[in-house]
Amino acid sequence: MTTFPAALADLTGLRSEECVEGLEVWGHTKRLTIYSKRLVAAADRIMVFLLTDIKKREYIYIDVAGFPTLPLSGASRFGNALYDLADALPQVVDERAFFHPAMVLSLLHKLTSPLRRIDLKAVDITSYGTPTAWERHPEVDGVMMRLIPSRVRSLAEVDLMGVRTVVTPDCVGLT
């Protein structure tokens, strides 16, 4: 069994307790208004993204096999470790994706069902398969989703204009 914080610890060289910071900043994250997103590094189901908000502040997050952290600034210990990891991984030449800025919270309010976020601290990421292709949410522009299959309990990854989180599939209409 490999928990998500343990996998993050293996990648960054930090203790798993230090990596939990990237899973617990939802209160701040949902108040972000993202202006752009860019993939900066990638290797074997690991992707590191940079987000820029409308105030030109930069945030970094990692997506490991469909399991994302929340965006962090480089001022945090885990955020700084993600910048170091991004430098160590193969660099990606990616065009920056620009968004019509909308606060993540405003997208959440447009959803007909509330998102039921999954606590990723105890999830065994080795028990999940490759995520399906991204698809648009049928009701809300700027929201993408995909299924993370498992024989036990499938999950869904949701992208809210660049900010990703893992939720129960039924709350976004995936089965």
Question: Model confidence over 2-46: pLDDT tens digits?
Answer: 899 999 999 999 999 999 999 998 988 999 999 999 999 999 889
Check the CA dihedral 55-63-45-148 and report its sign.
negative
Q: Which residue has the tokens 């660049």?
A: 162
Of 18-22, 95-99, 105-109, 157-161, minimum mean pLDDT range: 95-99
| The pLDDT of residue 90 | 95
| CB-based contacts of 139, cutoff 8 Å, min separation 6 | 110, 111, 112
Contact 60/74 with Cβ under 8 angstroms? yes
CA distance 166 to 117: 6
Torsion of Cα atoms, 139 then 173 then 137 then 52, to 10°: 120
**74 in Cβ contact with 59 (< 8 Å):** no
Residue type, 129: G
The answer to whether the CB of 29 falls within 8 A of the CB of 75 is no
pTM: 0.92
What letter represents residue 124's amino acid?
Answer: D
- Closest by CA position to 28, among listed 73, 94, 65: 73
10, containing H or E segment? helix 4-12
